[in-house]
Amino acid sequence: MNLGIFLEQVPDGDGPWWLMLVQGLEWTLAVAALAWIVAFVLGSAIGVARTTDSRWLVRLGNAYVELFRNVPLIVQFFVWFFVVPGLLPPVKRWVVSVDPITYQLITSVVCLGLFTAARLAEQVRAGIQSLSAGQRSAGRALGLTQLQTYRYVLLPMAYRIIIPPLTSELMNLIKNTAVAYSIGLTELFFRTREMGEMTFRYFEAFGAATAIYVAIAFAANRAMALVERKVRVPGYIGGAK
């Protein structure tokens, strides 16, 4: 093993290999952050929909979760990148007109966001259903609308309860960004493979990538642990120490 390889210039590139990996890391983090926002907003909405009184909303939410959770992520990437523009002429016209990188970024964020939303929806549903039925009834008894009951009574507790699985989802999302290599997004795993193929120093390249993924997933884990400590409610899980 020779770490000097990271200082060597990329053939006909614009810098040394370590810089290429760092640029890949930037894409990884950007995609993960944007996809997390999509997943959190959409996942919460669908999770809530699945616990409402409306049978129609529950079914729609269930269908969404089953669809996105049951199709392998790499297949979803393929569908968003190749099949959707192929089937929808307006999308195709737009795809051809924008820079390929823009479309790769949007595809990755949409694909990972929708995929992770399905998983988040399941967590949110579980969190809400873990609360005693009395809480919902109490909200109603106070004269709150269904929306207000969710906003002020159910969700504040449900989110606190599901912080540990949410942490797992965030870490999964960060690691899942690696699949974006399959549509040519130059994220960390793409750069790692490229470095391996061009220098044949697979051990160093993948060693570095492993260390970076572990480091960012661990950082995400610690950040979520901090959130967990900050928002805990005395008397509830994690709050009674």
Contacts with another protein by CB under 8 A lie at 10-13, 82, 85-86, 92, 95-96, 99-101, 104, 181-184, 186, 190, 193-194, 196-200, 202
Nearer to another protein, 84 or 220 (CB): 84
Q: How far apart are CA 131 and CA 222, in angstroms?
A: 26
Query: Taking the chain, what is the end-to-end CA distance rounded to the nearest angstrom?
Result: 47
Residue 28 CB, nearest approach to another protein (Å): 16
DSSP letter, residue 16? B
Residue 93 CB, nearest approach to another protein (Å): 10
Identify how many contiguous H helices and E strands the chain contains and give both numbers. Answer: 12, 0
Nearer to another protein, 51 or 108 (CB): 108
Nearer to another protein, 97 or 132 (CB): 97
Nearer to another protein, 25 or 157 (CB): 25
Residue 98 CB, nearest approach to another protein (Å): 10
Residue 73 CB, nearest approach to another protein (Å): 14
Alpha-carbon distance values, 122 to 41, 64, 117, 160, 184 (Å): 13, 11, 9, 15, 30
Residues, the chain: 241
Nearer to another protein, 104 or 149 (CB): 104
Question: What contacts 113, CB < 8 A, 6 or more positions away?
Answer: 34, 35, 36, 37, 38, 39, 42
The alpha carbons of the chain give a radius of gyration, in whole angstroms, of 21
Cα-Cα-Cα-Cα dihedral sign, residues 106, 112, 118, 123: negative
Q: Is-contact 50 58, C-beta < 8 A?
A: yes
Residue 200 CB, nearest approach to another protein (Å): 5
Q: How far apart are CA 205 and CA 133, in angstroms?
A: 53
Nearer to another protein, 66 or 197 (CB): 197
Residue 157 CB, nearest approach to another protein (Å): 44
